[in-house]
Amino acid sequence: MRLLESLLLALPPIAAAASTHWPYKRYVIPDITSDPHKHGKLEFADSEPPNHFIEWLRSAVKGDQSGTLRQPFKGDKIPRHVKNFEELWDYIQFPEALDNATRRPILTHPTFPIPPTNQEALSIFADLGYPVDPLCTSDKTKWFYRTVDGSCNWMEVGNTAYGQFGTKRSRDYNQYSYQDGYNKPRDGPNPRAVSNAFFKRKQRLYYEHTPLLLGLTEFVMHDVTYSEDSTTEYVDVPVPPDEDTFPKNTTFRVWRTERVPGTGTSPSNPRENANQASTWLDVSSLYGSSTEVSRALRSFEKGKLLTSQGNFLPFNTMGLSMRTRPGVDPKSLFAGGDPRTNEDWIMLAVHTLLLRDHNRMCDLLVKQHPEYDDERIYQTVRLAMAAKFALIANSYQMAYWQTTGIDAMPWPRDDGFPLYRQMYGENALEINPAHLYPWPLVTKGGKPMVASAEMAVVYRFHEFIIASFPLKDAKNNTIQEKSTFESAFDSKGFIAAGLENILRGIVATDIPNFKSGVDESFRSAGKYRGSPFDIVTWSIVHEREQGLPTFNEYFRAYNSYDPAVVIPIRERFEDFSSDPEMVAHLKRLYTHPDEVDLVVGCQLEETNFPGTTVPSSALIISLFSLFGLGNSDRFSVGYSIMRCILVDKPWDCTPSNALDELFWDPKPTKHFPWARWLNTFWLNELDFQAHGTNLLWRLITENSEVDCLQKNPLFPYDPETNPILCSLPSASPNVPELILTAIEVILTLYKEHQGSFITFLVGLITLTGWIVYQLRTHPSGVPPALYGWPIVGVALQFKSDASGLLLKGMRKWTAVFGLKLANQIQYVVTSPADMQVIVDDSQYEVKFSLHEFLRSINSDLITGKTNFETDLHTRLMRNNLLDSEKLAGFAETAGDACDLFLAREPLLAANEKEKHYDDLIDYLNRYITFVMSRCIVGPDSFDDEGLLKTFLKFNDDAVNAMGLASLLPSPLRFIAGLSIQEDYKAIERVLVPAVGRRRSQQSSDINFLNFILPVIDNDKDAADMLAIVVFGGLTNLQATMHSTFLDIINQPGLQTRILNSLDSAAIGNLSSNRSSSWASLRSAAFESLRLSGPVTGPARAIMEDVPLPSDPSRHLPKGQAIALTAYYLHRQPSVWGADADRYRWDRFIKEDPPIGSDRFVSWGLNTPHMCPGRWFALQSIQIMVKALLEKYEFAQDRELSDSEKYRYSSGSVLRNPIGVKVLRRP
């Protein structure tokens, strides 16, 4: 074991050597299923991408009127050919010598004695414009790093607690609107009535954003604001008389926000509310805002945070205060820096990514500075993470910009400042990233902007909440739809679901816009944290109980500052909305426009802020405040990046904090010992070249196993504007070097572990054989293939997870690739041009042969060699199952058989009204077998119990026999057919006598034996033919009949709709042609047939080398097989639309699918070999489903998503079991 461990430990450095640090090694691929190795092209193949930061700096220097920006550069400009930071260093205009007289004087303040240890700080902060407090400067950790609680960010004497954890929330315009002027909640109409009137989701209006925007919104708000509930004060809200969701006696209890102790005693001392988070964008949701929480979350090893198994957040074994719901132990939840960490999986995904990114950046910093101790690593990375998060927030705010039309946000849009330019009516020369700290534009009354009480209530964007989101696997299949509400406080479920599945899901769907109202799962929740809940009622109550101003009160104060964007005061109720219904509600609930609540006025706002998709009033209180808050931060990334240009100069620069130190590397020279220049590594890490617009993509791909997703994950995928980008595939290993390294390691270890070496060597030889097999070169000019293991290839995986294997190949090669299935390679083709070759050859079978393919998969074991060679069974089916008169007769026979089976095997006993079944698959199989037996065998002996069981067993044995035979050499293949021979004997014991009796007395109804008897004289051969035909019927019917029935009962209300549509349907008006009486059920059957297609098939043997029309440089090799894939082709959005992978029962209500074309291949291509029993199968399914729905009503335990329905095994498609309650219809 020690030997093995030593070898394994030797491998990571080899693999690590191939890794490449960002930036910009990404592949663009056509869609999420494409293979970047084959179809990807480098995002920037010929050159490095443009450095937008340098482009901005070049234009800023050019337009600089003061000379401050131009001064450091030669010729007062940045040449056009300068493309990166290294080149820019060569254009710094150094002075002749460093003038020590120009170094900053130390500022002292007469009120406070200055301890000797703060001289450095006083020198650095001499130009702040206010005296700094020794409480901050005397301890370098308080000014060089962020404090845990947010203090000393603003270092003014006497005001160092500004924005600190636990201090009172500011108010944007110092307004207090309590009923009594200082404590009692402001009056207003019933909050639930207000919620019902203005916030109910009437329709879900599309917003071109993904739920990742919702997760970021939550995380941002949790980062800058949190209020504790009072334990003694509350507001009770009874439901209004017109309540239509909750019982009339329901009362919401909303706990008031905890007050700052000692406040709320008089008008001169109004009630204040404490902010239990630091107000800065410092990622405190991850790190915590108190020393207790912060230390509990640290590992104290190399700066890293604690994690649980699987690299998730740590479980709350340390007993931090975490919000939960009744019955859920807080210790079973994740621990985070904010008590709301576990409130839903979307936000939890963002939280997990940031945790992993912190630890990843610790590893980067350790490699660059191995001399740093744990504390220095942690504090530096914490600053870097906040800087990165601020840049992500830039992408976040850009997601709200209007980018097309006359109202589009003016350029530049990505420098972080367009919102302020809109607000103040200035251009990019007046407002841009080049400014000093503190920036007057983001101060109010000489104080920095922080998260206000109004922002905390309005900036929630509850309209974005979605009822559910998909979980998607690596193949981009939807595993399930997860209720957003039910994902709350379920950490173990989050782990089980998988971060990657959640991430893939939330970037693959969309959210509602601001005018959609709030989803009912959050607006009318039966229980949230143990009580009835309405998220809107809570917001309205908190607005009033915190004494916040009404809409008109707030914007009168706002307008008094003469902004460029004025919010009109609503003098009449009609000024709030153009919707008469909303105006009527306003008049019913309020007596005057000045009473309308702040959140209500924002909700009704109909004018978007210029250049954005956000209602003006909501944006001013939320995003505008967030922007100001970020630029009020002393540790703002914008100030650090300009530190050695605006404050100091590159030849003489002193960092003011650890972030400055990270960005500006020492570059001392003989004459300029304090020279510094930009650190390219860390600027790349924070994506400065693109203003941080790649950071969200990187946050996901660098901290999860998701390798490919759209460039901007906040927006849905679009091939033109938001393409799929993949991280750079791992470099191929240098095999000779790897072998030499391995030999060197082995020889070294042999000396130390001779005793165990022989055993290990045997395993090594086996492993080497497998490696050689994997690395062997396939024949020149043939498509690539998944080879798998020696002998079996990928056959075992194909049996256990056929769809996963297919999509693996699709992802790597897409158009055509092979699957090594034991002794044969099946080449899967998806190009219409390649499929047309099969159609063109079908009359001659020179290039491709169905017969030889069936031989290659040992079909003769099932049909018998004589029948296989003559193909008699197929000719019999083709001659009789495509005849419309005979089909009508078979319909009568099938209908009678359905009635007989349901009478003999009822799902409910005579005295039962309902019954629950764990699943109905076995029952449906017996039903199908009974009906098929009656249609094929006729009235004599078809219902023999032993015969029916053997038919079912024969079906399973046949599939297993073909699979086993493919793994055996030819002389031993008879072993695979032994179980089949036993089945034939059991069938013959029943059917040979029955065939004999039928020869003397013909049946009056239509059954297949009638057509066999004139052709086959031998009774045993006739009995065997019946078995073959029943087998063919069961194989084709099981998957489709199961799916048709189960798909209908899976969709709420659909079985009733289908049943109602069958009022005029009868056996007499059912045919292979379309009939209005059967149209709905026929459409549903075709849709289920579309989605239940096999992973591979139909298939043909390749009889000669065939050039590929889609790629003439390659050919399909003789002796292998070509296969289509109904599974893949039937889910192509280019053919079936955006909902191609989802069940839509009415898809074929107007016309049938294009049967036999390359778009619908379930029955094969339009060749002489197209399935001969297709119309018989379709009408049988409709008859069987109709009979079931007429007799019973079915209620599944839960609704399955389409990706949960199926299991794919080799050529089989199976339905996953689901519990069903059966009820008797009246």
Planar angle of CA 978, 983, 989, nearest 5 degrees: 130
**Distance between CA 693 and CA 1022 in Å, rounded?**
72
**Distance between CA 942 and CA 47 in Å, rounded?**
74
Torsion sign (Cα): 580, 582, 587, 588? positive
Nearest to 651 by CA among 628, 671, 681: 671
In the beta sheet, which residues pair with residue 1116? Answer: 1106
Amino acid at 1162: S
845-871: buried (b, 16+ CB within 10 Å) or exposed (e) per residue? Answer: bebbbbbebbebbbbbbbbbeebbeee
Nearest to 1220 by CA among 1199, 1193, 1197, 1192: 1197
Contacts of 316 (CB under 8 A, 6+ apart): 322, 330, 331, 332, 333, 334, 335
Exposed / middle / buried, residue 586 (Cβ in 10 Å: 0-12, 13-18, 19+): buried
Measured in degrees and rounded to the nearest 5, phi and psi for residue 230 equal -65, 150
Amino acid at 319: G
SS3 state of residue 714 = coil
In the beta sheet, which residues pair with residue 1209? Answer: 1212
Where would I find the H helices in 17-118? 36-39, 52-63, 85-89
Where would I find the H helices in 622-734? 623-632, 637-641, 658-663, 680-685, 695-701
Contacts of 767 (CB under 8 A, 6+ apart): none
Query: What is the phi-psi region of residue 655: left when phi exceeds 0, alpha when psi lies from -120 to 50, beta otherwise?
Result: beta
462 is in an annotated binding site: yes
**Distance between CA 742 and CA 771 in Å, rounded?**
13
CB neighbours of residue 433 within 10 Å: 20
Q: Which letter does DSSP use for residue 1217 in this model?
A: P
- Give yes or no for a contact between 688 and 663, defined as CB atoms under 8 angstroms apart: no
- Give yes or no for a contact between 1124 and 1132, defined as CB atoms under 8 angstroms apart: no
**Distance between CA 651 and CA 54 in Å, rounded?**
19
Contacts of 366 (CB under 8 A, 6+ apart): 302, 303, 372, 377
Which two three-digit tokens encode residue 1172?
């001969």
- Cis (ω within 30 of 0) for the bond into 412? yes
In the beta sheet, which residues pair with residue 452? Answer: 170
Contacts of 269 (CB under 8 A, 6+ apart): 182, 262, 263
Give DSSP secondary structure letters for 1056-1104.
HHHHHHTTT--GGG--SS--GGGHHHHHHHHHHHHHT--SSBSEEEE-S
Contacts of 1015 (CB under 8 A, 6+ apart): 872, 876
Which two three-digit tokens encode residue 599?
């959140």
CB neighbours of residue 757 within 10 Å: 15
- Give yes or no for a contact between 133 and 121, defined as CB atoms under 8 angstroms apart: no
- Give yes or no for a contact between 293 and 339, defined as CB atoms under 8 angstroms apart: no
Give the position of tokens 């744990």. Answer: 374
Which two three-digit tokens encode residue 1060?
């109602």
The pairing of strands 251-257 and 229-238 is antiparallel
Annotated binding site: 462
Annotated binding site for heme b: 462
